[in-house]
Structure formats: C-alpha cells, structure tokens
C-alpha cells in the first residue's frame, strides 16, 4: 500500500520546526523576563523587581496613552462590529448574487493591501479634511481604526452565519415574524458568539496598531504602541518591556477568548 505524504515524517522537519518556534518565541520570552529586571539594562540581568511596572504606572504619559488607546480601541470596535454585522448578513443570507466577489474583496481590502498603503491613503484624505474643517481631534483615528478593523470583525461573523441552520429563521418567517423580529429573536442569539469573537479580534488589532496611528494621529494623540515607538528612538529601558508585556497579556487573553468563541457549537 502506498504511504500518504506526511510533512512530519520528512527528514529534518522536527529540527526546522523547533528552530522556527525558538526564533518566534525566545525574543518574546526574553522581553517578558527583562521587564522584571531590577537594573536599567535590557540585556544584563540584575535581579527580580517590579520596579519598571511601578514606573510605568506612575508615568503620566503612559497613563494618558493607555486611556487614549482603550477609548480608541473600544470606539473602533463598536463601529467596526456595527458595520460588519449587516455586511455579513447581506453577503451570507441572499446566497450567490452578481458582484458578490467584488463586494467581498472591497470589504476585505485592508487585509490584502499593505497597511502602509492604507495609512498613506488615510493621511492624504484626512489632511484635506483637516485643512477644510480645522478639526484635529480623535475622530480621525477612530474612523481610521474602524475602517481598518471591519474585515477582522467581519470574518468571524460571516463564518458563524455560514454554520447556522436557516431552518429556524424560515420557521419564524412561516409563523408571520417580521424580518426584524426574526433577526432579533432567532438570528441574533445564535450569532452572538461570532459577534463577540469579531469584536474581540477588532479590539486587539486596534489596540496594537502602530502604522495607521502613526500616520493619522495629530500632536498629543500618542497611543501606547506609538509612545513605545517614540521611547525606543530615545532610550531603551525595561519600562518599555513592562508596557509591552501588559499589551502582550491583553492580546493573549483576547485571542484565547476569540478562539473559544469561534469554535463551532451545536
């Protein structure tokens, strides 16, 4: 009997896989470890300490950037999810229709185009709007993050809709339920896991974004990632490691929750 191809049985695969894991995760492990360094070096261990977490907590710039990042991420998540839900319903429920592939591509454009291209395009548009209106507030960042996060919220919702049994919705329609009532009483309760998963993924993407934020933000609108980037250009201390570790922890928690909510449920 012919043996099926299995990449795991190929010569050198375990060594290559182990090398990839080491290259991916060793720097992250070192970053987390040195965030607890008692000294000011990011390369020389001088003992365990919570010093840099306390320093970051007492830093007014860090606290302001944290509040700004959370407000931005929450606002972008709400807007992106609010756009993603009707988009997913419009794409999933009518079945195949003319132009569906084009619309799908337009919705997922931020995933296919390099982020730097999206950032430059948003910069050009918002610069013109700023000149015309004189407004330089956080609204531009919220709109930019929302537009960028829509496909990340859309994909889990669309996947959830594809796995739902339409018989319950059809039964509700047969019982003279209006489209809105059927959506509210039947579709939405089944769709909640996908909506929550999409919202959490959008939140993580917005919270961690650097490129679009760096291009769109005005003076005094640093988020945590852009603040860290600015600090790295000046002097590197374990305080940056501490901030990065906290962001990493938030991202890991959200991604794990996204994984469990995205699992198919009967």
pTM: 0.81
Return the CATH number of the domain spanning residue range 60-262. Answer: 1.10.3720.10
* Rounded Cα gap, residues 73 and 229, in angstroms: 18
Which residues partner with 187 through β-bridges? Answer: none
44: Cβ–Cβ under 8 A, 6 or more apart, which residues?
37
CA-to-CA separations, 242 to 42, 110, 157, in angstroms, rounded: 11, 30, 34
Domain boundaries, the chain: 60-262
Q: Determine contact, residues 184/89, Cβ cutoff 8 Å.
A: no
Please give the distance of CA 95 from its chain centroid, rounded to a whole number: 28
The pLDDT profile of the chain, 266 residues, written as one tens digit per residue, is 456 767 767 777 888 889 998 998 898 898 888 888 888 877 788 888 888 898 888 888 888 998 999 999 999 999 999 999 999 888 877 667 777 788 888 888 888 888 899 999 999 999 999 999 988 889 999 999 999 999 999 998 988 888 777 777 778 776 777 777 888 788 888 888 888 888 988 998 998 899 999 999 988 888 988 888 888 777 777 888 888 888 888 888 877 877 776 665 44
Which residues partner with 259 through β-bridges? Answer: none
Angle at 101 between CA 262 and CA 200, to 5 degrees: 25
Task: Give the number of other Cβ atoms within 10 Å of residue 39's Cβ.
Answer: 16
Q: Can you give the three-state secondary structure of 112-153, one letter per residue? A: HCCHHHHHHHHHHHHHHHHHHHCCCCCHHHHHHHHHHHHHHH
Instruction: For residue 157, give the nearest of 93, 81, 253, 94 by alpha carbon.
Output: 81
């Amino acid at each position: 009997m012919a043996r099926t191809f299995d990449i795991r049985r190929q010569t050198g695969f375990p060594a290559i896989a182990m090398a990839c894991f080491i290259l991916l995760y060793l720097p992250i492990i070192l970053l987390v470890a040195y965030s607890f360094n008692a000294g000011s070096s990011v390369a020389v261990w001088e003992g365990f300490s919570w010093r840099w977490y306390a320093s970051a907590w007492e830093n007014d710039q860090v606290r302001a950037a944290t509040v700004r990042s959370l407000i931005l991420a929450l606002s972008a998540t709400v807007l992106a999810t609010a756009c993603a839900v009707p988009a997913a319903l419009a794409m999933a429920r009518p079945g195949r229709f003319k132009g569906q592939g084009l619309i799908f591509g337009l919705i997922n454009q931020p995933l296919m185009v390099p982020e730097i291209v999206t950032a430059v395009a948003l910069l050009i548009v918002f610069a013109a709007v700023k000149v015309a209106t004189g407004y330089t507030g956080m609204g531009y960042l919220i709109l930019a993050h929302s537009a960028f996060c829509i496909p990340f919220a859309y994909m889990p919702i669309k996947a959830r809709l594809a796995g739902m049994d339409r018989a319950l919705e059809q039964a509700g329609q047969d019982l003279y339920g209006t489209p809105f009532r059927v959506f509210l009483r039947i579709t939405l309760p089944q769709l909640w896991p996908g909506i929550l998963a999409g919202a959490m993924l959008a939140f993580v993407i917005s919270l961690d974004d650097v490129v679009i934020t760096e291009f769109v933000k005005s003076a005094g609108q640093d988020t945590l990632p852009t603040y860290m980037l600015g600090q790295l250009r000046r002097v590197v201390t374990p305080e940056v490691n501490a901030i990065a570790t906290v962001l990493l922890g938030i991202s890991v928690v959200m991604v794990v929750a996204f994984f469990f909510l995205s699992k198919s449920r009967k």
